[in-house]
Amino acid sequence: MGSATVIVALGVAGMLVSGYALDVEWKLKSAGPFYKPACDGQWGSCSAVFQSKYAHPLSCFGLLPAGHALDLSLAVLGLANYLVYTLYPTWIFRLLPMRPHAGLLLLSAAGIGFSCYLLYVLKFILKDFCIVCAAFHCINFSMFFFGALPEYRNPTVHAARSRTKKE
């Protein structure tokens, strides 16, 4: 399987998990305490994680006030992130001011860095487990090691541009 296929497959998987997380967030807001998501169990609670202040990183980091229209949840930010991954094989990535595979590697490295931060929050601050979050982290690490890193080492999707820049 080529790196483009892996990148797109992981991007689609991430969008599906993000869509589920967004659905849970919306139902938690609309149904309130009467809704129990399938991802809640005796081993952990995704609803507790999704309702924590850490689920909105822009306000958590103090960049925006809580409740601001641009204070997007992790699910919405995840949808955007994974959409970018699925667009990697398209011409859109050629518009980057850097080599497309370098941009993919940087985005993926930022993703695993953010995953490490969120794993710390989940384990040591919230002291909880979230199966949906675990899926996000698996996708992020897989994207780096099985998608972005092999594509960076041996560009296959945007290889023509990479070769012309070197000449």
Q: What angle do CA 119, 147, 144 make, to 5 degrees?
A: 25
- Percent of the chain surpassing pLDDT 70: 95
User: What is the per-residue pLDDT for 163?
Assistant: 45
From 153, 25, 148, 33, select the one nearest 78 (Cα to Cα): 25
Across the range 27-35, mean pLDDT stands at 88
pLDDT over 50 at 167, yes or no: no
Lowest mean pLDDT among 54-63, 74-83, 91-100: 91-100
Of the candidates 74, 58, 51, the one whose C-alpha atom is nearest the C-alpha of residue 133 is 74
- The model carries a pTM of 0.90
d(CA 67, CA 21): 18
Distance CA 133, CA 21 (A): 9
Query: Does residue 159 surpass a pLDDT of 80?
Result: no
Q: How many residues would you count in the chain?
A: 167
Q: Could you tell me the pLDDT band of residue 97, with boundaries at 50, 70 and 90?
A: confident
Evaluate if residue 89 carries a pLDDT over 50. yes
